[in-house]
Chain A
Amino acid sequence: MDFFLQLLVSGIVVGSIYALVALGFVLIYKATGVINFAQGEFLMVGAYVCLAMVSQLHIPFWIAFILTMLVTVVLGLIIERLALRPMIGEPIISIIMLTIGLSSVLKCAVLIVWGPNNRVYPQIFSQVPIHLGPVVISQVYIWSVGFAMLFLVLFTLFFRYTSAGIAMRAVADDQQAALSMGISVKKVFAMAWCIAFLVAGVGGVFLGNINVVNVSLGFFGLKVFPAVILGGLDSIPGAIVGGLTIGILEAMTGGYLDPIIGGGTKEVVPFVVLVIILMVKPYGLFGTEEIEKV
């Protein structure tokens, strides 16, 4: 039972970061109809930028964290302007390949600046674990879940109550109608990429604190796909539910199946689930079904 609870907790922690990255996916998809294969690299860049500020420039962690958010927003703007805007109206395959190309370029930049070696954050959160009944939780886990939840709530409120959020929803719903209501679709697109880069960067900082920081952090982006598909590509609550489910599922298979079958099962089970979901419910749990016509 203790083992189960321990797995559940680590599943929830990883799952909440999945949810955060999935939120970025969903946002971009909702607002611009693009699926972003570079989301994992955004996460990696966020982790590296914050790490560089903390360990090379010796800026206190929380200031570095806020500066990282600023940097990611600026990077999001640049990427949207240079690479994504010319692609409006191009076929899906081109846009997929463009984001894949983008991920290569970001990986290259990180490798050139920081090199291929593993890096670790200096100790930021207290090492003393917290006991919740039988379960032992380290403090960094609590901070990660807390921040992931904070951002998820903030963005849900943002979409519901601010005019910028409502504008984004309007663009997602019908671009032409939004244009005729005086909403700048270009600004909304730029904002979607900024927010996506921002949430991925935040996820990266916490993931970097939990694990080591290296280039393979980029694969995290691919692992978020099952979460997004489970929840539905265009649903924010779906991203949260999907992220947590996949995180827990992964922790459970890692804990119970890996010792029996051998390493790597943890990585592949979410994708098996993904195929099953796609066969049964192609638009996920909360996604809107598309009605197609000629």
Chain B
Amino acid sequence: MSAHICGDYKTSYKEDMVLFQTFASKFWLGVFLVLLCVVPCFLDDYLLYVCNMIGIAIIGALGLNILTGFTGQISLGHGAFLGIGAYASAYMVMDLNFPFFVALPCAGLVTALFGMVFGIPSLRLKGLYLAIATLAAQFIIEYLMVHVEGITNGVLGKMVDFPEIMGFSFDTDLKYFYLVATLAIVATIISNNIVRTRSGRAFIAIRDQYISAEVMGVNLFKYKLAAFAFSSFLAGIAGSLWAHYVTIITPEHFTIGVSIEYLAMIIIGGMGHIIGSIFGAIFMVLLPEVLRTMSGALSGEFPMIVNLFAAIKEGVFGLIIIGFLVYEPDGMAHRWQMIKAYWKLWPFSY
């Protein structure tokens, strides 16, 4: 359907930056959205649960991709920021009796504030040193989550209710799906647009050559902090949605392992590509579920596979990361572009 375009005939930058380059891309997006509304009605609760987890992961991964993929600031503390969002939202709804639609953005803002505090070292630190500083942030926040018992209820965990907006309770997987899907779409649109603005170009300039960027008039401190704030804001939203979905949160849910999982999402999906966050989130959420199904199917023949499941999951996770880094360093987003380019001129590609 897009066969009529076989080259770049753009004559202005404005044309080059249009979100939907062709009618076909608009059409297929429309089809996708309609399917997104209709298909969930026919899914069972388990599949809906997986879809909801994917939606939440997409929001979190978009945030990390803006920070790490676009601005080049490595963060090993994304899991902890998710936790701050989760606890902030839980505290506001359960203890302060805020309505959910106020608590959700507030949780994002609180997390953004934390993100900015831990982003301040980023002006002095780069690369490895920043990665280690955010690792320290992860451990310090984890410690706070265990010890500030007045807010977090410590290791016992905090109970959270399903969210309620104007008396409408999102208490089933299906209802929650529409909430998560809407927010994931909004987050994707916002991220996609931020990348096209002055801020987005400043982020990319900082990633590619921060000294040159500074010489050209990009305020490093301002934009690095902005990237940290936006990234943690989305992490906070994702954390809040997660808390209200699983309805009990403990500090164990927000460990360094979660941070690594999110980093893996953007690596596998493709750093510096918005669509990469979506691919990566889908992949990383599906991976353990697929492994679980497979080990369940094989457990008849190899009974010990159930005991080894955690180990196998860990190993497959590691091998996939190594495999992607060695053989497909640009992630699935790159492969997706190759496939699109192939079909564009099919069957007369040369």
Contact = CB atoms under 8 A, between A and B. Distances in A.
Interface string B311-350: 1101111111110011001000000000000000000000
A16 interface: no
Interface residues of A, number: 45
Given A96-B74, A101-B319, A268 B139 contact: yes
Given A104-B317, A111-B311, A94 B124 contact: no
B321 A271 contact: no
Interface string A255-293: 000000110110110011011001100100000000011
A233 B131 CA distance: 13
Interface string A56-94: 000000000000000000000000000100110010111
Interface residues of B, number: 46
Interface in A88-108: 90, 92-94, 96-98, 100-108
B121 A100 contact: no
A105 B315 CA distance: 4
Contacts of B41: none
B25 to A, nearest CB: 30
Contact of B326 (A83, A108, A261): A83
Contact of A107 (B131, B132, B311): B311
A9 B321 CA distance: 41
B136 A104 contact: no
A108 B312 contact: yes
A279 B310 CA distance: 38
A104 B318 contact: yes
A239 to B, nearest CB: 15
Contacts of A282: 124-125, 129
A275 B136 contact: yes
B290 interface: no
Contacts of B129: 229, 233, 278, 282
A117 to B, nearest CB: 11
B318 A271 contact: no
Contacts of A94: 267, 325, 329
A197 interface: no
Contacts of A294: 209, 211-212, 215
Contact of B68 (A35, A90, A93, A225): A93
A153 B88 CA distance: 51
A263 to B, nearest CB: 9
A224 B317 CA distance: 24
Nearest to A100: B260
Contacts of B151: none
A116 B215 CA distance: 54
A112 interface: yes
B319 A279 contact: no
A198 to B, nearest CB: 22
Contacts of B322: 83, 98, 101-102, 105
Contact of B318 (A92, A105, A222, A226): A105
B32 interface: no
Contacts of A262: 147
A92 B135 contact: no
Contacts of A116: 310-311
Contacts of B284: none
Contacts of B139: 267-268, 271
B318 A87 contact: no
Contacts of A233: 128-129
B132 A92 contact: no
Nearest to A113: B311
Contact of A222 (B135, B312, B319): B135
B308 interface: yes
A112 B312 CA distance: 8
B70 to A, nearest CB: 12
Nearest to A109: B315
Contacts of B147: 261-262, 264
A101 B318 contact: yes
A64 B210 CA distance: 51
Nearest to A107: B314
B202 interface: no
B311 A279 contact: no
A94 B68 CA distance: 11
Contacts of B256: 222
B127 interface: yes
Interface in B17-70: 68
A275 B317 CA distance: 30
A266 B68 CA distance: 30
A97 B325 contact: yes
B271 interface: yes
B146 interface: yes
A110 to B, nearest CB: 8
Nearest to A292: B211
Nearest to B131: A96
Given A92-B74, A265-B143, 20 more contacts: A87-B326, A93-B74, A93-B263, A93-B271, A98-B321, A101-B264, A101-B319, A101-B320, A101-B321, A105-B315, A107-B311, A112-B308, A233-B128, A233-B129, A268-B143, A271-B136, A275-B140, A278-B121, A278-B129, A279-B121
17 contacts: A35-B132, A83-B326, A93-B74, A93-B263, A96-B74, A98-B321, A98-B326, A100-B263, A102-B318, A105-B319, A111-B308, A112-B311, A222-B135, A271-B139, A275-B121, A278-B129, A292-B211
Leading 6 A-B pairs by shortest Cβ distance:
A108-B315, A104-B318, A111-B311, A101-B321, A105-B318, A268-B143
